[in-house]
Amino acid sequence: MAILRAIADPTRFTILKILQDGVYCVCEITEALGLAQPTVSRHLRILEEAGLVTSRREGQRVDYRLAKQETGSPGEEILSFVTGRLEDDSGIVRFRERCRSIQQKSGRTP
């Protein structure tokens, strides 16, 4: 199942946890994770192909968010599982804070 393969990677799991807070562009996620932009884009593409995130392009900028899921769908169950885990994990909290800080510096609000 593509959804399970998508969340099996720790980086993709972290990206889903970050997106739980709202909309972020690939540049903000890249900076927060400290990874190369092509690497983050590849992870986001896999998550999008699995139906877990959606993207919206505005010029050069691509924003990502968690995809809305149908009630009872496998995607809803997986996202519910992901968003219910690692709430107090210091690494996730740190990544979220970095993303928010990056957005504030760029004049965007989360």
pLDDT at residue 87, as a whole number: 61
CATH class of 2-105: mainly alpha
Long-range contacts of 54-62 (CB under 8 A, 24+ apart): 61/25, 61/27, 62/25, 62/26
> Taking the chain (110 residues) in consecutive chunks of 10 residues, what is each chunk's mean pLDDT?
84 88 88 92 95 91 86 70 65 73 70
Read off the pTM: 0.75
Each domain of the chain, given as residue ranges in start order, spans 2-105
pLDDT at residue 37, as a whole number: 94
